[in-house]
Amino acid sequence: MKSDRRFIDENGKVLMLGNEALVRGCLEAGVSYISQYPGTPTSDIGEYFHQVLRESPDLKEYLVHQWAVNEAVATSSCAGAAWTGVRAFNPMKHVGLNVASDALSVIALNGPNPGAMVIGVGSDPGSLGSHQEQNERFYAWMLHLPTIEPHTPQECKEWVKLAFDLSEKYDLVINLRTSTRSAHSRGFVELEPLIKGKGKGEFIRNIPKFNSLPPHAINNHVRLYERIERLRKAIPDLGLNKIYPGDNKIGIITSGMPFGYTMEALLQLQLYDVPILKLGMIYPLNYQEITNFIQDLEKIIIIEELEPFLEMKISEIAQIKKMNIEIIGSEYFPKFNEFSTGLVATTLANIFHKKPNEQMIKAIDYFNSYKEMIPSRFPTFCAGCPERATLYSILKATNQLENTVVCGDIGCYVMSFFPPQQCSDLIICMSGGLSAAIGMSTKTDQKVLAMIGDSTFFHTGLSPLAEAIGYNSNILLIIFDNAWTAMTGHQNDVLRYLINKDFSIEKVCKTWGVPWLRVEDSYNPKKLTKSIEDALNAKGLKVIIIKRECGLQAHRYRMKQIRRIESQGKKVQEEIYHITGCQMCHECSRILSCPAIRRVEIDGYETMQIDDDRCIRCGVCYQICPNGAIHKSTLNLLCEEVPFRH
């Protein structure tokens, strides 16, 4: 394998994802400090910074990347760094902005100077990797965050550099807003020289600027308006907004990824004369720039995903400037879900009274007619996942959730609600499950169970746990202590640092005085089931910590050990699970539901079969089979045993 030089080379043309290009742009802008909590679609940004620091360790003097415990901490950390006069970057997913907004509302007011601060919000229209979709552009207006929306990886790189310059020049926090689509689309990027960030800065005391309390709060608010107005004036010279001229009396205003869909939709419809204003900066807007574009037009179509932000802001400008023009958008386009070229093309065909491309209509009609026969394939837990095994024990201990409410949360276990297990009744937000359980348990006699993962626990779970202890809430809290932020891709994050420092959830619970506490292993399902039964029969707060490493990581580590031993010419002990005499009771497929088990037909008889390639040897199915049909054999009995690490 060749080494990846895309973050090292000083020039050239390379292929990059939007997120990779953002990182490259930061390195070309002399960024000094990055802090973030992982979350799709921005998790990989931190991984690229870590790659850079691994490849060029001498950069550590100039560049610090920290995985924060949550987004509010990350945002304030970035502000702290920026206030020493350096450039700070703060990526987060769209819902991360909700967590960070409390801090950000003050930081934006104070301003990031003498340094610069850029936040990189990854929006998620279509909820492709999130528990909800929201149009966080409204924060731009509320908190005065100038917002730039790139469309290609080249723009991601160019514009994040520009964002740092603007932040520094106007004392504003700039939002470089991507989406799941633009963050994870690949295109060419022209490299420019790298600039080392400042190694050290210095905080210079400025009480009015950094203490937004009366009377300074109002003064800073006034100053914020002045800063925004200065930027608004400068917009036409920034090169962010671009007009594609045309003679049609109907024009289009759009930005970001919807611009790409729009261009190709017009190509599909053979509409080559529609004038388009592509906005690179969607907040603030320069009034003159907008009125210049719309003044000779009869109708404007605003093409934007989710709630109509631009439609509202452009209608506002038209009203202020007393312009008589029809502005449409959200009455034709959906206000939910992600857009696509096909969707924009069919909608524009309707507006322009054009016939949509025939092959497109045929494709939609033909394949939609077979939708019913396509089986579902939702994301689920990996083979051998300790969380899946825990759900099995919950289902068994509660007789399939009889008189039981399970408050779910964010992490891999967010998938608990999917069939066939369906072991989660509600999801709110990071640590929202435990919080909901506190209130719910005061109002129902049902058994209330809450689940939380270790990373979520440190993110925002400590506070509701303290409250649950305080009130001795009648809840069973199950904490998945799997040692990784698994859902976002096992980042080497703060959780790992805590583990390395021997800081454990068990210690927190013990010190804080959790009245009923057990530590269990979900790879021992019968014992765990019994513990859950005991807990649900007890009153007050009960906590069960499931201590078992993420199956994916444990398996990877174990295979590495095995390969190492085998490369020395030695053999290792090998466990194999196989099924004979299967009664097709479906205990393993419906209640445990491990994807390493497959239903097959052999000689006309149906049986379950274990896929040796996917089975990680957790042994749970072997322990739970009610008919003893799952067997274990051990090969190379006298050779070295390689157990899962614990």
- The answer to the question of residue 132 lying near another protein (CB under 8 A) is no
Taking CA atoms, 461 is separated from 37, 116, 167, 283, 410, in Å, by 15, 31, 33, 34, 11
- The answer to the question of residue 362 lying near another protein (CB under 8 A) is yes
- The answer to the question of residue 590 lying near another protein (CB under 8 A) is yes
- The answer to the question of residue 613 lying near another protein (CB under 8 A) is yes
Question: Looking at 89, 164, 283, 381, which residue binds another protein (CB under 8 A)?
Answer: 381
Check if the beta carbon of residue 309 is closer than 8 Å to that of residue 142: no
Question: Looking at 110, 113, 357, 529, which residue binds another protein (CB under 8 A)?
Answer: 357
In this structure, the strands spanning 33-36 and 64-67 are: parallel
Nearer to another protein, 152 or 255 (CB): 152
Token output for 293: 């574009």
Which amino acid is present at 638? L
Q: At 161, which helix (H) or strand (E)? A: helix 153-170
Nearer to another protein, 188 or 503 (CB): 188
Token output for 501: 């420092």
- The answer to the question of residue 585 lying near another protein (CB under 8 A) is no
Question: Looking at 32, 35, 36, 40, which residue binds another protein (CB under 8 A)?
Answer: 40
CB of 368 to another protein, least distance (A): 7
Left (φ > 0), alpha (ψ -120 to 50) or beta: where does 30 sit?
left
Tell me the number of residues near another protein by CB under 8 A. Answer: 74
For another protein, which stretch binds (CB under 8 A), given 201-209, 390-398, 557-565, 582-590? 582-590
Q: In the range 188-227, which residues lie near another protein by CB under 8 A? A: 188
* CA nearest neighbour of 590 among 394, 449, 422, 424: 422
Nearer to another protein, 363 or 635 (CB): 363
- The answer to the question of residue 2 lying near another protein (CB under 8 A) is yes
Check if the beta carbon of residue 20 is closer than 8 Å to that of residue 42: no
CB of 554 to another protein, least distance (A): 16
Place of tokens 């050290």: 200
Nearer to another protein, 145 or 608 (CB): 608
Phi, psi of 294 (to 5 degrees): -95, -10
Cβ-based neighbours of 45, under 8 Å, separated by 6 or more: 19, 22, 23, 34, 36, 91, 120
Check if the beta carbon of residue 150 is closer than 8 Å to that of residue 182: yes
Q: In the range 406-435, which residues lie near another protein by CB under 8 A? A: 412, 415, 419-420
CB of 601 to another protein, least distance (A): 12
Question: Looking at 169, 299, 518, 586, which residue binds another protein (CB under 8 A)?
Answer: 586
Check if the beta carbon of residue 196 is closer than 8 Å to that of residue 61: no
User: Which x/- pattern, by CB under 8 A, does the window 276-315 give for another protein?
Assistant: ----------------------------------------
Q: Read out DSSP for 35-94? A: EE---TTTHHHHHHHHHHHHH-GGGGGT-EEEE-SSHHHHHHHHHHHHTTT-EEEEEEEH
CB of 182 to another protein, least distance (A): 8
Nearer to another protein, 422 or 524 (CB): 422
Nearer to another protein, 201 or 258 (CB): 258
Nearer to another protein, 283 or 339 (CB): 339
- The answer to the question of residue 342 lying near another protein (CB under 8 A) is yes
Token output for 309: 């932000």
Check if the beta carbon of residue 97 is closer than 8 Å to that of residue 136: yes
Distance of CA 337 to the CA centre of its chain: 16
Token output for 640: 């070295």
Question: Looking at 60, 200, 556, 599, which residue binds another protein (CB under 8 A)?
Answer: 599
- The answer to the question of residue 605 lying near another protein (CB under 8 A) is no
- The answer to the question of residue 100 lying near another protein (CB under 8 A) is no
CB of 38 to another protein, least distance (A): 10
For another protein, which stretch binds (CB under 8 A), given 140-148, 336-344, 494-502, 615-623? 336-344
Taking CA atoms, 336 is separated from 131, 133, 330, in Å, by 14, 8, 10
Left (φ > 0), alpha (ψ -120 to 50) or beta: where does 320 sit?
alpha
User: Which x/- pattern, by CB under 8 A, does the window 149-188 give for another protein?
Assistant: --xx---------------------------xxx-xxxxx
Question: Looking at 204, 320, 363, 538, which residue binds another protein (CB under 8 A)?
Answer: 363
- The answer to the question of residue 557 lying near another protein (CB under 8 A) is no
R_g (Cα) of the chain, nearest Å = 28
Q: In the range 234-263, which residues lie near another protein by CB under 8 A? A: 244, 257, 259-261, 263
- The answer to the question of residue 608 lying near another protein (CB under 8 A) is yes
Q: How far apart are CA 54 and CA 46, in angstroms?
A: 12
- The answer to the question of residue 119 lying near another protein (CB under 8 A) is no
For another protein, which stretch binds (CB under 8 A), given 27-35, 52-60, 422-430, 481-489? 481-489
Phi, psi of 281 (to 5 degrees): -110, 120
CB of 14 to another protein, least distance (A): 8
Taking CA atoms, 562 is separated from 348, 440, 558, 635, 644, in Å, by 58, 48, 6, 14, 11
CB of 321 to another protein, least distance (A): 29
151-188 b/e (C-beta count within 10 Å ≥ 16 → b): bbbbbbbbbbbbbbebbbebbbbbbbbbbbbbbbbebe
- The answer to the question of residue 268 lying near another protein (CB under 8 A) is yes
CB of 274 to another protein, least distance (A): 9
Question: Looking at 91, 96, 125, 129, which residue binds another protein (CB under 8 A)?
Answer: 129
Taking CA atoms, 398 is separated from 59, 476, 624, in Å, by 54, 12, 16
User: Which x/- pattern, by CB under 8 A, does the window 42-81 give for another protein?
Assistant: -xx-------------------------------------
Q: In the range 441-460, which residues lie near another protein by CB under 8 A? A: none
For another protein, which stretch binds (CB under 8 A), given 75-83, 307-315, 356-364, 495-503? 356-364
Q: How far apart are CA 179 and CA 562, in angstroms?
A: 41
Q: What is the DSSP letter of 60?
A: G
CB of 411 to another protein, least distance (A): 12
Question: Looking at 366, 539, 605, 637, which residue binds another protein (CB under 8 A)?
Answer: 366
Q: Is 574 helix (H, G, I), strand (E, B) or coil?
A: strand
Residue 570 burial by Cβ neighbours in a 10 Å radius (0-12, 13-18, 19+):
exposed
Nearer to another protein, 11 or 324 (CB): 11
Place of tokens 């499931």: 546
